[in-house]
Structure 1
Amino acid sequence: MKNFLSLVYTFLILNLMSITAEAAPVAKISYTVTFPEAQAHYVDIEMNISGLAQKTTNLKMPVWTPGSYLVREFAKNVEGFTAWNGGKEIPAGKVNKNTWRINTAGISALKVKYRVYANEISVRTAFIDASHAFLSTSGLFLYPQGMLNQPSTIKIVPYKGWTTVSTSLETVGGDQFTVTAPNYDILFDSPIEVGTQDVFGFKVGSVNYEVAMYGGGNYDKERLKVDMPKVIEQHTKIFGENPNKRYVFIVHNFQRGGGGLEHLSSTVLGASRDAYSTERGYLGFLELVSHEHFHLWNVKRLRPIALGPFDYENENYTTNLWIAEGFTAYYEAKAMRHAGLLPADGHVNTLATSLSNHDNQPGSKIQSAAESSFDAWIKFYRPNENSNNSTISYYGKGAIIAYMLDLEIINSSNGKYSLDDVMKYMYNEYYKLKRRGYTDAEFKLGLEKFAGKNLDDFYKKYVTGVELPDNALYLGYAGYKVTDELAGSNTPALGIATSAANNHIIITAVSRGSSAWVDGLNVNDEITAADGNPVTDAAAITANKKVGDKINVTVIRDGKQLMLPVTLLKSNRVKYKVEPADNATEKQLAVRKKWLNL
């Protein structure tokens, strides 16, 4: 009885402490952003915090940005950090790479000033010049430790000539230059574009879409207003709803641009400003739109359990990026096909190319999809000359796994279900009902629910294993046959990639198991001769040669000349062709119809 009463007493005390903590005053946090030297890529930030009660306040800068799985050390760009109280500068010091500590004993209000250098053009890093400011918020705004759930307000004082702000953040009092975030997870997931961007919009269902184009370009706004909604409608059809009221596309058009980064209610896209006029360039842009927009469900809401709430100071590990990114890569094209923007044969031909590229990458036999996901932090964003031999992209491998699972589910359910049903079920079950991310085992159970079978063997082969895809089996479900157009060839190959500058042939990569790999040609070797004949074109080395021939390759390595005997091996490259099989069955045609929305 005594122990029971002690437990009751402890519970009451803890409950009272909890109520007291909840009743504590909420800190008020605001930022003022100015650009006195935008032309030199600087932004000045003033942070004001009131309602402080703690003796020490730690201000932190995230080390990475969600969606881009690499520790980027944004604090490296911070300069001139000072802290103030009532017009008086107070001591402040850095205690680790991304933390500034301020003694706030007896201080309820604090002002902090600092500058950030922003001169890296990408969809995941801030960039500022005289023409515009792209505020990638996770790399700009310090947050008070322990206050990630606190709201904040940002007032933007534009540089001369800047007239427009584009962001998914809510405005304050209708002033586009003053925005607010309910917490730091939202703030760090809401980039801001400031400048003179070209803005247009459209509506899909009840959702208002804004497209902000920076950098000019030969895009056709009226055509985009028609085709972008087609893709968005296909995404919404899969999940049954669009959780946004408003969504913003921030598009940076450069001479050569690419890439995208997803956010909760917006995305940032990189594009080539003059590529819209070609069909290939235009469809490529729409595929990028499709990929990043699909993320508003897959990753931003339906997510691996490790990806939220975020730890902004350390790596957030998951083995499921093959789902988060790979499935999204699959759906970027599938949605385009189902929207009628890609022809069925073109879609299948693109898949054939992806399958060939996968099997031609030696790393596909070394690294699994799960390993690729987990090691994204140290490998995917830091490729070297051997990455092709030792790694596989969770984007590409995940998309291939998705196509196989899609056809498996359609076939085994006799056309009743597809991978779409899995995505909708998982979204409803984990994002909406359980309000959390899924584990690897839970996603597998979701797949099995609609496949109607155990997928242990599938996972062992393709998710945690490195078996090559059984394309004949899975494409056979849809009445397609797969052939390797290079199967009968007996072509020799050195197995190298080279760069040529001023008649210097430099080896940039050596493929695992190739002639060059076996006989010791190295990356950074300069090839000067083959069998004593000067070499100015790497392709000429194997011209008129056959498998088994021996050649003497002369290279310069670290300033020394070497002659290496090389025995030419057969090229092991594949080139798949996918085409309708003769006499496809009624079931195969039904699977094909559902898969390709024929």
Structure 2
Amino acid sequence: MTKALKLCYCVLLLNTFFISKATNKVDNQEIKMDFSVSFEDAQSHYVEVVLNFENLHSKTTNLILPVWTPGYYLILNTPRYIVDFEVTDGKNQKIKWKKSTKNSWTIENGTASKISVKYRVFANKKSVAESYVDAEKAFIMPNTIFMHVENKIDNPVTVTLNKPSKWSKISTGLKCVDEAKNSFYAKNIDVFYDSPIYIGNQKTIEFENEGKKYSLGVATPQGLEEEKFVADLKKIMSATTSIMKKIPYENYSYIMMEAGGGGLEHWNSQAIFTKGSFDSKSRRDYLDFMNFVTHEYFHLYNVKAIRPIELGPFDYNKENYTTMLWFSEGFTVYYEYLIMVKAGLMEGKDALEYLSGSIKKYENEEGCRHMSLAQSSFDIWSNFFNNESNAKQTTISYYDKGPTIGLLLDLEIRNNTANKKSLDDLMRFLYNEYFEKKQRGFTEDEFWSAATEISGKSLQELKTYVNTTQEIDYQKYLKYGGLQIDLTPLKTEAKSDKFTEKNYTISELPKASKLQLEIRKSIFNF
């Protein structure tokens, strides 16, 4: 998912007609599926959907609408927006159907080889994970609009967008297969669901970098310095490639919407809200935004390719629990800073300032004494938008403590190997071994086994910091990189008899060894 401050850019408006063609196999027979969507009542936020099926070989057909979006760890009540559901056969005769569960529809198609399913969707959520349509634009998250045949995920999908003439541009990471017809392709349902589409009059920029094609769609381009911004995006991507050594896509789309909060990563794109313009008030504002962009981009590697085994294949009907979002999200925060430094867009001391801020944020809240990092991952389904009055006293965010563990693990590996290996080696190993070779995610035991192997020494202490609320020995690990942390109390009243706020600012050691200086230089470039 994204940082808490970020929430996916989503404001699509389709007064359009969506057609998707997928091939499903039931009893070794192909089923042809045509999805069509129109937006004749877009001003009221309604989407009209028609699904045409051919060559059915089963007497019943179960359709599923997902109730969550990958990267967005919250169950969504998307089925409540489905209205006027009906089914007819090839002769336009009505066919019986019933609601089987909150998000599944069972069609009694009998001997009918062709059926059509029609329904409308109320799309009025300006959120990273849901769809929105109005008279000006459209943001479509396919998993909130399109149903799939139960247990038929590994099927290709083609989507044809017949956009209204008043909308001139389409922004999506899907592969275009017919430019004249605005037809796009996804190799399976997972990719289709993970490919947002923005239609409107956004500014679009096409460019290439390292042999790959990119598109940039900007809804509110005021203040955008196009040449500089594209150059900075290229620096970010090239810096990432220099770390990971691989690029897992042929094309990628940056979708940058109007003012809002948040962003969401996708296999072939990222969709993020902006501040409504690109006029940064300060250098820090610009760094914050570019960190945000880098975060969502690195998720392409860390959580999409490199992922805990629980995060795919997905069960779209219920929560998908994992104790390792501190790695998927927290380490991505850590790497956004490293990549920005490596790209030359941020100083190493800026990165330390951001990391110090993360430590202060969770260490100076009482929740760190009650919730472990692993628990914060597992319980995110309950705490994603936890605004209860006791939240800060009982919970923590893996966005804050996660990057700290990333830093400490990086320092530990570098110190143990005389800076011959680093966290980068672990990330590349997980990518190569599990994503490419085994084509699956990794278990928690496999993660720690790989990390221990690369480090050459036991990582039990760091593992304890993840699984418990034990106090972290920051000085021990930071010293490996010629750094120190200020643990003096802040001049504020304690929040309880057992809790005192501290400074937690990371800085340079006055004196450092050759190895310590080398490690610090390798990570922070100073």
Give the TM-score normalised by structure 2. 0.91
1:270 match: secondary structure:
strand
Which stretch shows the higher mean deviation, 153-162 or 441-450?
Answer: 153-162
Alignment of 1:151 onto 2:160: no
Identify the match of residue 574 of structure 1 among 472, 479, 502: 502
CA separation in 2, counterparts of 1:175 and 1:398? 46
Deviation at 1:450, TM superposition (A): 1.7
1:575 match: secondary structure:
coil
Alignment of 1:296 onto 2:300: yes
Question: Which amino acid in the other structure matches residue 182 of structure 2?
Answer: F
Identify the match of residue 269 of structure 1 among 261, 268, 272: 272
Aligned partner of 1:507 in structure 2 is none
Q: Could you tell me whether the CA contact under 8 Å between 1:29 and 1:153 is conserved in 2?
A: no
Q: Could you tell me whether the CA contact under 8 Å between 1:83 and 1:111 is conserved in 2?
A: yes
Question: Which amino acid in the other structure matches residue 270 of structure 1?
Answer: F
Deviation at 1:160, TM superposition (A): 5.0
CA separation in 1, counterparts of 2:220 and 2:34? 30
Task: Choose between structure 1 and 2 for higher RCO, CA contacts under 8 A separated by at least 6 residues.
Answer: 2
Q: How does 1:9-88 map to 2 (within 5 A)?
A: 24-86=28-90, 87-88=92-93
User: What's the % identity of the aligned pairs?
Assistant: 37
1:80 match: secondary structure:
strand
- Number of aligned pairs? 500
Aligned partner of 2:520 in structure 1 is 592
Alignment of 1:222 onto 2:227: yes
Q: Could you tell me whether the CA contact under 8 Å between 1:168 and 1:246 is conserved in 2?
A: yes
Question: Which amino acid in the other structure matches residue 264 of structure 1?
Answer: W
Q: Could you tell me whether the CA contact under 8 Å between 2:160 and 2:181 is conserved in 1?
A: no
Spell out, residue by residue over 1:180-230, the C-alpha distance to the aligned partner (whole angstroms, 9 max, x if none). 323211111111111111111322211111111123432222111110111
Q: Could you tell me whether the CA contact under 8 Å between 1:35 and 1:158 is conserved in 2?
A: no
Aligned partner of 2:315 in structure 1 is 311
Aligned partner of 1:213 in structure 2 is 218
Spell out, residue by residue over 1:558-584, the C-alpha distance to the aligned partner (whole angstroms, 9 max, x if none). xxxxxxxxxxxx982222232222221
Alignment of 1:131 onto 2:136: yes
1:372 match: secondary structure:
helix
* Closer/same/farther in 2, CA of residues 580 and 146 from structure 1, 3 Å limit: closer
Identify the match of residue 241 of structure 1 among 241, 246, 251: 246
Spell out, residue by residue over 1:235-275, the C-alpha distance to the aligned partner (whole angstroms, 9 max, x if none). 11121110111001111121xx2211111111111110235
Aligned partner of 1:439 in structure 2 is 443
Whichever structure has more strand as a proportion of its residues is 1
User: Which 5+ residue runs of structure 2 have no aligned equivalent?
Assistant: 1-24
Q: Could you tell me whether the CA contact under 8 Å between 2:405 and 2:462 is conserved in 1?
A: no
Spell out, residue by residue over 1:36-66, the C-alpha distance to the aligned partner (whole angstroms, 9 max, x if none). 1111211111111111111011111001011
CA separation in 1, counterparts of 2:237 and 2:161? 31
* Closer/same/farther in 2, CA of residues 30 and 170 from structure 1, 3 Å limit: farther
CA separation in 2, counterparts of 1:382 and 1:91? 41
Give the TM-score normalised by structure 1. 0.81
User: Which 5+ residue runs of structure 1 have no aligned equivalent?
Assistant: 1-20, 496-512, 515-569
After the TM superposition, which parts of structure 1 deviate over 4 Å for at least 4 consecutive aligned residues?
none
Spell out, residue by residue over 1:147-200, the C-alpha distance to the aligned partner (whole angstroms, 9 max, x if none). 222333323232451122111222342236322323211111111111111111
CA separation in 2, counterparts of 1:454 and 1:48? 57
Identify the match of residue 108 of structure 1 among 105, 113, 132: 113
2:117 match: secondary structure:
strand
CA separation in 1, counterparts of 2:51 and 2:434? 37
Instruction: Calculate the aligned-residue CA RMSD, in Å.
Output: 1.8
Question: Which amino acid in the other structure matches residue 353 of structure 2?
Answer: N
Deviation at 1:115, TM superposition (A): 1.1
Identify the match of residue 331 of structure 2 among 322, 327, 333: 327
* Closer/same/farther in 2, CA of residues 220 and 485 from structure 1, 3 Å limit: farther
1:486 match: secondary structure:
coil
CA separation in 1, counterparts of 2:231 and 2:185? 32
* Closer/same/farther in 2, CA of residues 176 and 597 from structure 1, 3 Å limit: farther
CA separation in 1, counterparts of 2:350 and 2:153? 47
CA separation in 2, counterparts of 1:368 and 1:28? 48
CA separation in 2, counterparts of 1:105 and 1:153? 27
